[in-house]
A and B are shown apart, each in its own frame.
Chain A
Amino acid sequence: MEWIQQLVNGISVGSIYALIALGYTMVYGIIKLINFAHGDVFMLGAFIGFFAITRWDVGFLPALIISMVLCAIIGVIIERVAYKRLRSATRIAALITAIGVSFLIEYTMIFFRGPGLETYPEVLPNTSIDVFGVSVSSKSILILIVTIILMILLQFIVHKTKIGKAMRAVSLDADAARLMGINVDNTISATFAIGSALAGAAGVIFGAYYTRIEPLMGVLPGLKAFIAAVLGGIGNIPGAMVGGLVLGVVETVVSAFGFSLWRDAAAFIILILILILKPSGLFGKNTREKV
């Protein structure tokens, strides 16, 4: 029954992908930018959590919240400083800028603290819990619970609050949103704040789960989260959640079959397949709306 544990592992890593993918998809939805610096916000989140835990001696949850708040602020700063003036520029200019911001964050981090690893202290109880007669690590369960809570919170914000409705309106039609009196700039900032907070949360969860963090740790999960977002249909919030989970489970299954060297390749094969077979993603809509 090792399978159950494998599945849980897959869902755990998948929920980290999903949390990062949400930021990609929300930002893309609203300004059509693939924010390649998003994986680095995830990395910063992991380090902020690490600092909070080791220096300020706080537990997992406070560290998670501190990291989310600071990442939200960082996300807004990135948007205001680097992307805002490029709203009417070509997409490629914005994309190159995003890659530049990504390198800037990574190498600023390396410049100030070096490229070395840091080891997260044990902040989550690490015991085995009996689930339907199978023992599963308590860490995985906790991570899953935290992720589910965050996703429910996000769904609530997007569908029930004023700012959430404004975000959806701007992503559907920015000029029409302006005519409703919506402040488009603030709405875009709010989107960056929420997406970055989720990446920050993913960083702390990643640290607590895998224990090792370093300045380039955001690159691969960032890419995979991007693939998850494409898999679910970029711009589509439930799609990002499902895409992340599917990707995590597929990777774990590939490893479990003994092809662990193919683990990362699996993600890229999925990307290629989805781009060939259904570029709009699993949940993407192919239909154009009526005009």
Chain B
Amino acid sequence: MLKVNNIDVFYGNIHALKDVSIEVNESEIVTLIGANGAGKSTLLKTLSGLLKPKSGTISYLSQQINGKQAQAIVKSGISHVPEGRRVFSNMTVEENLELGAYLRKDRDGIKKDIANVYDLFPILGERRKQQSGTLSGGEQQMLAMGRALMAKPKLLLLDEPSMGLAPLIVKQIFEIIQMVNQQGTTVLLVEQNANMALSIADRAYVIETGKIVLSGTAKELQESEQVKAAYLGAL
């Protein structure tokens, strides 16, 4: 479904992604794990069109999407839940969800999908008229995910959904990721919480200082000594 071939991404002189290639197949959960500053968010931003690769190609559903504008990429079915939630703080929960459906024109469908998001995350339904900046961290993460789902993505990019959340909430969020995946959305999940991520993923990549250093099925990586030492040790 998604094929990233040998991309290089720079911030000015900083070479943030070096010859990175990954692949995501339809209906998989693929996770990308790595330490702070490894380049995980950079890869997701490049996939969603916020950054442009200097070289290499990205093909999605057999179309080349590198260099396309973010809005065209959203339209083609890729939604990105950014690191740190990035909800529109001065807008209500419901307005945030409406913005998630910005490119859609089917009013009735949008209404129905807002109701679906409230089914998925009942707390959001209770808070629908609340300014989203006043939600708790976990609620903001749910809103960011709900907002991304409003675009009806085929591929969902999640950047550290567990960041700063209590274990119970993390568990809840990961269950919802699995549920969304079972309903037919392919997921690329960036995480530092390697244990959790590997437990729900089909396949995984490990990134270190801008390079993919390891890849395989989630099971293989869970058992790999290298991964255990670097990412699973403390947990």
A interface with B by C-beta (< 8 Å): 162, 165-166, 168-169, 172-173, 175-183, 289-291
> Which 6 interchain pairs have the tightest Cβ spacing?
A289-B89, A181-B74, A176-B86, A181-B103, A178-B70, A289-B133
B71 within 8 A of A: yes
Tell whether A179 pairs with B70 under 8 Å between CB atoms, given A165-B98, A173-B86: yes
Task: Determine whether the beta carbon of B102 is less than 8 Å from that of A166.
Answer: yes
B137 within 8 A of A: yes
Task: Determine whether the beta carbon of B88 is less than 8 Å from that of A172.
Answer: yes
Give Cα A162–Cα B102 distance, bound, in whole angstroms. 8
Tally of contact residues, B, Cβ under 8 A: 33
Tell whether A172 pairs with B91 under 8 Å between CB atoms, given A165-B98, A182-B102: yes
Give Cα A179–Cα B147 distance, bound, in whole angstroms. 10
B interface with A by C-beta (< 8 Å): 48-50, 69-71, 74-75, 79-80, 82, 84-91, 95, 98-100, 102-103, 133-135, 137, 140, 147-148, 151
Task: Determine whether the beta carbon of A178 is less than 8 Å from that of B90.
Answer: no
Task: Determine whether the beta carbon of B88 is less than 8 Å from that of A169.
Answer: yes
Contact of A165 among B48, B99, B147 (CB under 8 A): B99
Task: Determine whether the beta carbon of A180 is less than 8 Å from that of B89.
Answer: no
19 pairs, CB–CB < 8 Å, chain A vs chain B = A165-B98, A166-B99, A166-B102, A168-B88, A169-B99, A173-B86, A175-B82, A178-B50, A178-B70, A178-B71, A179-B48, A179-B79, A180-B99, A180-B100, A180-B147, A181-B71, A289-B89, A289-B133, A290-B137
A contact residues around B95 at 8 Å (CB): 165
A contact residues around B103 at 8 Å (CB): 180-181
B contact residues around A290 at 8 Å (CB): 89, 133-135, 137, 140
Contact of B102 among A173, A175, A181, A289 (CB under 8 A): A181
B contact residues around A172 at 8 Å (CB): 88-91
Give Cα A166–Cα B88 distance, bound, in whole angstroms. 11
Contact of A169 among B69, B79, B91 (CB under 8 A): B91
A contact residues around B99 at 8 Å (CB): 165-166, 169, 177, 180, 182
Task: Determine whether the beta carbon of B90 is less than 8 Å from that of A179.
Answer: no
A contact residues around B134 at 8 Å (CB): 290
Min CB gap A81→B, angstroms:
21
Q: A165-B98, A173-B86, A182-B99 are in contact. List 19 more A-B contacts (CB 8 A).
A: A165-B91, A165-B99, A175-B50, A177-B99, A178-B49, A178-B50, A178-B71, A179-B79, A179-B82, A179-B148, A180-B74, A180-B100, A180-B102, A181-B74, A181-B102, A182-B102, A183-B71, A290-B137, A291-B84
Give Cα A131–Cα B135 distance, bound, in whole angstroms. 48
Min CB gap B60→A, angstroms:
15
B contact residues around A162 at 8 Å (CB): 102
A contact residues around B80 at 8 Å (CB): 179
Name A172's closest neighbour in chain B (CB-CB).
Answer: B88
B contact residues around A177 at 8 Å (CB): 88, 99
Name B75's closest neighbour in chain A (CB-CB).
Answer: A181
Give Cα A237–Cα B147 distance, bound, in whole angstroms. 26
Min CB gap B169→A, angstroms:
15
Give Cα A291–Cα B133 distance, bound, in whole angstroms. 8
A contact residues around B102 at 8 Å (CB): 162, 166, 180-182
B contact residues around A178 at 8 Å (CB): 49-50, 70-71
Tell whether A168 pairs with B86 under 8 Å between CB atoms, given A178-B49, A181-B75, A182-B71: no
Of A166, A181, A182, A290, most B-chain CB atoms within 10 Å: A181
Task: Determine whether the beta carbon of B133 is less than 8 Å from that of A180.
Answer: no
A contact residues around B71 at 8 Å (CB): 178, 181-183
Min CB gap B162→A, angstroms:
16
Give Cα A180–Cα B86 distance, bound, in whole angstroms. 11
Contact of A176 among B69, B75, B82 (CB under 8 A): B82
Task: Determine whether the beta carbon of B133 is less than 8 Å from that of A168.
Answer: no
Give Cα A181–Cα B100 distance, bound, in whole angstroms. 8
Give Cα A131–Cα B206 distance, bound, in whole angstroms. 76
A contact residues around B69 at 8 Å (CB): 183
Task: Determine whether the beta carbon of A181 is less than 8 Å from that of B151.
Answer: yes
Of A178, A179, A182, most B-chain CB atoms within 10 Å: A179
A contact residues around B100 at 8 Å (CB): 180
